[in-house]
Homo-oligomer: A and B are copies of this chain.
Amino acid sequence: MNNGRFGIWLVGAWGGVATTVATGLAALQNGLSERVGLVSELPKYAQLDLADWKCFVLGGHEIRKTSYLAEARNLLDSSRVFSADLLAKAAPTLEAFDKNVRTGTLINVGSTIESFATPATLKTRGEPPRAALGRIAADLKEFRGTHNLDHVIVVNVASTEPPAEGDAAGLPWSELSRLLDQQDRSPVPASTLYAVAAMKSGCSYINFTPSVGSNLPALQELAAETGSLHMGRDGKTGETLLKSALAPMFAARNLQVKSWVGHNIFGNMDGKVLDDPVNKENKVRSKDRLLAEILGYKPQTLVTIEYIESMGDWKTAWDHIHFSGFLGTPMVMQFTWQGCDSLLAAPLVLDLVRFCEREHRRGKTGLMTHLCSFFKSPMGTDIHDFSRQVALLDAWAEEIAARP
């Protein structure tokens, strides 16, 4: 698939994950990188005729003012990722991507995120949701037009929002839609606004964060109405990925998990935002839920996420699993995971975009539950066991391969 033109539109366009998506895409387009870490490059998906990396162009919304190269150099300095040589070679591509970044919205993002906004962004404060929607849609339209794109996939990689006020979850689309005209105390968070704009603009929408996004009955309605593809929430990159690979082993062996404690430390901007307890709320809930669903009972669990500045982008998790074996014998498994957050997340974003484009190409709409292995809180399914989730993706791939 080498002759389509596709857009990746990142919400949180100059953040750590987005910067790594951009750098990685630039590297792939310029032949500067192996395919390690990219699920969609596994031989078993070769028959899917996925779009070539050269088919993609990147843009997005952002509330700060910086550039891909500046952010990538920050990551290099603080976290010893990338290489000076790679960045030098990727620079022209990254500078081209920079030109596609537009001003995002601050509606319901919370004061911590707002504190990072530039004056230009702050000027948009007070705009009614409907106006923000219009602005976003116009940006998407311009992006598609300028680059002559066949399809655009909007991916939310912005910092985690605080839980929204009010109960948008109980509303049908007709009512939620009406609330978009309300200037104050809108229950609709920014992530949902972007989802609405994407769907109304004929784009696909993927929510890589724990924010609400399209995870509302009203948005399901809208997706059906507009024929949009969407999926979420919260990219499964580290500790939770391990939980979803390990917990099924304890279950299959009837080893009783008595407690599962997980402590996470890291120092990137996401960490700073999560240091605000209201933003952290959404995240911890997302990391903790799957155990009971896999094990069939609820062990005592504890999950902390702490901002430790010196760690930079290196998220380190320590998990302590206390379990009972035969005759009640207490045993312990512990693991530590030292992963670079953005470098784990970015390839998954690229994979999701590619898989989504493929699904769009064959004319499908609605929730892409076969992508559940990528998410901590997958929409539309209760399956959290990683191997079962991967089996769903493989089945989807086989179905396509069988009927090309």
A372-395: contact bitstring with B at CB < 8 Å (1 yes, 0 no)? 010000000000011110100000
B80 x A324 contact (CB < 8 A): no
User: Cα distance A337–B329 when bound, in Å?
Assistant: 14
A336–B265 CA distance with the chains assembled, in angstroms: 16
Whether A322 is near chain B, meaning CB under 8 Å from some CB there, is yes
Name the residue in A20, A77, A320 with the highest tally of chain B Cβ atoms < 10 Å from its Cβ.
A320
Nearest chain B CB to A38 CB, angstrom units: 6
Q: When A84-B85, A252-B39, A256-B36 are in contact, do A27 and B335 touch as well, CB less than 8 Å?
A: no
Q: Is the CB of B254 within 8 A of A326?
A: no
Asked if residues A41 and B259 are in contact (CB atoms below 8 Å), the reply is no
Copies of this chain: 4
A182 surroundings in chain B (CB, below 8 A): none
A254 touches B41 (CB 8 A): yes
A87 CB, nearest partner CB in chain B, Å: 10
- Residue from B245, B302, B308, B330 in contact with A308 in the complex, judged by beta carbons closer than 8 Å: B302
Which of B27, B42, B252, B331 is A373 in contact with, Cβ under 8 Å? B252
Interface residue? A35 (CB, 8 A)? yes
For the complex, give the distance between the alpha carbons of A23 and B390 in Å. Answer: 40
Chain B residues contacting A328 (CB-CB under 8 Å) are 33-34, 36
Which residues from B are CB-within-8-Å of A42? 252, 254
Q: Can you sample 12 A-B contacts with CB below 8 Å?
A: A36-B256, A37-B327, A77-B83, A84-B84, A241-B253, A245-B248, A254-B347, A261-B265, A300-B308, A310-B322, A310-B330, A333-B338
**A interface list, Cβ under 8 A from B:** 20, 23-24, 27, 33-39, 41-42, 77, 80-86, 241-242, 245-246, 248-249, 252-256, 258-259, 261, 263, 265, 299-300, 302, 304, 306, 308-311, 316, 318, 320, 322, 324-340, 343-344, 346-347, 373, 385-388, 390
Cβ-closest 6 pairs across A and B: A387-B387, A37-B326, A258-B310, A84-B84, A335-B335, A245-B249
